[in-house]
Chains A and B, each alone.
Chain A
Amino acid sequence: MKKVNIEKNAAAFIYQDDVHVTEHDKNLWNARVKRDKAASEIPEWEELRNLASAIKEHTLTHLDKYIEQFVENAEKRGIKVHFAKDAIEHNAIAYEILSSHNVKNIIKSKSMLQEECGMTPFLEEKGINVLETDLGERIQQLSGQLPSHIVMPAIHQTKEDVAKLFAEKIGTDPNDTDPSSLNTAMRNNARPKFLVADAGMTGGNFAIAETGTFVVCTNEGNADLTASLPPLHIASIGIEKILPKVEDLGVFIRILSRSALGTPATQYTSHFSGPRAGSTMHIILTDNGRSKRLAMDEFWTSLKCIRCGACMNTCPVYRRSSGLAYSATYSGPIGIIIDPTFDPKKYSELPYHSSLCGSCTEVCPVHINIAEQIMDWRKVMMKNKEVDFSRRMAFKAAGVVLSNPKLFRVVEKVAYNAINILPEAITENKTLDPWAAHRKLPDVKKETFRDWYIKNRKSNEQ
């Protein structure tokens, strides 16, 4: 698979115009500000985060037991549970269930796992129509793009982009950019299709081992329609979504939406506890690399993620790049540490798309040490020689110079000469020096501190 050139993709997002990057940064920063405010209103906020982290770590380290318990209890409720070891199995199981019910049209709510498995293109190829019911996901589906954010899939698009898209795809007035009328137009277009769907597919935010029930959180209520209108409901749930007890849910419901959007809870927190009379409910419990990740010493805690997107909202690099730059299901800081577990070659550049500011680690509601894992991935990439040859050589050269005090002094003088003697046309040439495109070079002094010290404080020299 071709390596993702994330730096180039991010540059394209920044340089397309002045509007997109500015709006994107502003909207996501606002989410971070709202998150801070929501957190400040809960006196036990830090206690909640510690508890959430501890519950996740406990569950993940006893996952075999809780999976068994969950499956046993779910099946008692009449839910049919299937195991999928990877994306291929997941899609095959989904298709098998759908075709056994002669399904032609499905509606689905947002599921990162189904994205991860590439389920929609797979089903469409088999002749099944798939309709996204989440507004942002529907915008992305019509745009032919991956979701760019875990919680706000179309956040990189402006309302003008959406107006243009809807005009093309569903015949709205291209000059009407009012979000509320665009929303109504999509509702009027999509809702009739909800009513004739043969099956509904959802994800699951939390699955409770002691009860065999699962919870889906949305702000549009679309998962409820998806699950309740058609006679068949299939939920794709990653094995890491399991929580031991119902009482654990209280902790997570309180932190999820506050971390994501700064709201006390999602508008809809729906508990599914078995099929309605006359309908069928399936769960596809999916591994797809999760147990492999669980065995990775440095990276297993990334499985604690509750997909709130707080790390994306706070990330200064993500806010200027947009999620599409990552060319992956998961973008932003959490994407950087998860994507390479799926394909270390394709995503080898992702860990370098970070200024290592560390805000992701600090904001995470379940205390995943994201920034540290980004560093650890760099170590892996460097060791496995996934990093470009020229980059590795540059640091080898740095290693030689900076570990040799005498050579370092020589290079210091060369740097002085290079910056002060060469004409600006050379030192400020962007192709020669990426520093200089948007920055002046610093002045390099003829006399280093060491020179000054030897001259002025020789008596103190040791």
Chain B
Amino acid sequence: MKVALFVPCYIDLIYPEVAIATLELLEKHNIEVVVPLNQTCCGQPTANEGDQKNSAKMEKVFAQNFQDLNVDYIVGPAGSCVKQIKLHFDAIEQTEKVTAMRAKTIELVEFFTDVLKITDFSDLSFPHTVAIHNSCSSIRGLHISSRSEWQEPRFNKTEELLKTIQNINIKHINRPDECCGFGGTFCVTDEAVSAKMGQDKVSDYVGNEIEYVVSPDMSCLMHQKGISDKEKTGLKFLHVAQVLNNGPF
């Protein structure tokens, strides 16, 4: 199987280790991975602002990078960016190539549980107390876990992958699917509310004696870690790919 790696802009810049972990993890499972080197951003920051004009410019670049590749899937280690491609990404013309590209874009956790159907990571050991943070985009946009607002069968694909790891202690916090307040540009334009939401999320981890917060979405963790470090809680934050690939940390 051949996939293209979608590296969100902030991961390229701030969390290169997450992209490395994702690349290595895919290769470990015999996936051929290509990396388009001129990718920038999926357009989510401007799209979320309602700025279709500027989103169109970024969507065009994304399409130039990905639409002509001969790959089975486009895999991204970021729920909110993948959601942007799959559910929004409507500022440019929806050609056949664009819709096909959008349809084969998939988030990393789901790529493992639903496409590869690989959920056994029992060769790993992670002797820590872990809380899973599935982002709002991952839960309510991509449905990588069930939604607490719905009367529907309960599932959590991130947990499915992590729970097979030896010695891992996965703990559910009090409000696991409450938004942490990152929200993209919201975190700076609505600083007081965003920070309060983040502080409440961090208190929830601390109150439940969590050591590591593991998420398929690094953007939420960037905000949560910022709050946590300011409060000197000692909490550690990792992308799910770093845990499943056993580094780089």
Contacts and interface: CB of A to CB of B under 8 A. Distances in A.
Most B CB contacts (10 A, CB to CB) among A356, A383, A391, A438 go to A438
B190 interface: yes
Contacts of B183: 354-357
Interface string A429-451: 00001110111111111011111
A382 B47 CA distance: 10
18 contacts: A14-B192, A15-B192, A39-B151, A42-B151, A45-B151, A316-B181, A317-B197, A320-B196, A353-B190, A355-B183, A356-B48, A362-B147, A395-B54, A399-B55, A404-B40, A438-B230, A442-B225, A462-B34
B143 to A, nearest CB: 11
Contacts of B230: 438-440
Interface of B is mostly: helix
Nearest to A39: B151
B243 to A, nearest CB: 18
B14 A460 contact: no
A453 B196 contact: no
Interface of A is mostly: helix
B205 to A, nearest CB: 15
Nearest to A415: B13
Interface in A403-462: 403-405, 408, 412, 415-416, 433-435, 437-445, 447-454, 457, 460-462
Contacts of A400: 57
Contact of A358 (B140, B191, B197, B225): B140
B58 to A, nearest CB: 5
B45 A395 contact: yes
Nearest to B32: A460
A434 B50 contact: no
A439 B223 contact: yes
B7 interface: yes
A439 to B, nearest CB: 3
B195 A439 contact: yes
A453 B51 contact: no
Interface in A370-399: 371, 375-383, 387, 391-392, 395-396, 398-399
Contacts of B89: none
A7 B178 contact: no
A328 interface: no
Contact of A14 (B46, B193, B226): B193
Interface in B22-60: 23, 33-41, 43, 45-46, 48-55, 57-58, 60
B211 interface: no
Interface of B: 7, 9, 11-14, 16, 19-20, 23, 33-41, 43, 45-46, 48-55, 57-58, 60-61, 88, 136-137, 140-141, 147-152, 175, 177-179, 181-184, 186-200, 222-223, 225-227, 229-230
A233 B228 CA distance: 57
A355 B40 contact: no
Contacts of A398: 45-46, 54
Nearest to B64: A405
B245 to A, nearest CB: 14
B65 to A, nearest CB: 8
B186 A460 contact: no
Kindly list the 9 A-B residue pairs having the minimum CB-CB distance in the complex, ordered from nearest.
A378-B50, A399-B54, A439-B226, A355-B183, A403-B57, A11-B192, A357-B179, A362-B149, A438-B195
Nearest to B52: A379
B16 A447 contact: yes
Contacts of A358: 136-137, 140-141
A359 B137 CA distance: 10
A355 B227 contact: no
A21 B195 CA distance: 13
A95 interface: no
Contact of B193 (A317, A395, A457): A317
Given A362-B140, A439-B195, A462-B36, A449 B54 contact: no
A199 to B, nearest CB: 41
Given A316-B197, A357-B136, A435-B188, A440 B225 contact: yes
A49 to B, nearest CB: 9
Contacts of B175: 29
Given A355-B194, A442-B225, A449-B12, A7 B40 contact: no
Given A352-B190, A434-B188, A442-B14, A14 B196 contact: yes
